[in-house]
Structures are given as C-alpha cells and as structure tokens.
Amino acid sequence: MSKKPAKSEILASIGRLPADLQRKVLDFASSLQNRGVAGKECLKFRGGIPPEDLRRMAEAIEKDCERIDASGW
C-alpha cells in the first residue's frame, strides 16, 4: 500500500480521466456529501401516520427494544 495520501492519489487518477468521466467522479463525490435532508424537509410527512399507530409503535419499542440480552450477542 502506498504511503502517499489518498487525496493525492485520487487527484492524480482523476487528472488522467477524460472530462466526461471527471464529471461523473465529481457527481459521485457530491452525492456522498449530500447523504441526508434537513429536518424541515421531513415536515411534509408530519401527520402521515395515524396517532393510534404511533402509540402502538411506541409501546412496542418500550416493551421489546429496551431490554438487554447479555447472552444474545
């Protein structure tokens, strides 16, 4: 394995690519940086799950997900 920093290797490799492939690499790198949404983007889904279903989900989490089974790992 090279001791050269990954950034240098990446830049050198990209520099040898034709422009169209450089654009694809840029698009891919951008997609890695944008891996989430702002909370306000999720507000449009507010109210989409009926309150009774939310209550049942909360009960299931409380009942089944907050236990530690030391022999289960």
- Would 30 be classed as within a structural domain? yes
Confidence band for 73, pLDDT divided at 50, 70 and 90: low
- Would 48 be classed as within a structural domain? yes
- As for how many domains the chain has, the answer is 1
Q: Is the pLDDT of residue 1 over 60?
A: no
pLDDT tens digits for 15-59?
999 999 999 999 998 888 877 778 888 888 899 999 999 999 999
- Would 47 be classed as within a structural domain? yes
Q: Which domain holds residue 51?
A: 6-67
- Would 44 be classed as within a structural domain? yes
**Can you give the pTM of this predicted structure?**
0.42
- Would 38 be classed as within a structural domain? yes
How far is 9 from 5, CA to CA, in rounded Å? 7
How far is 12 from 18, CA to CA, in rounded Å? 13
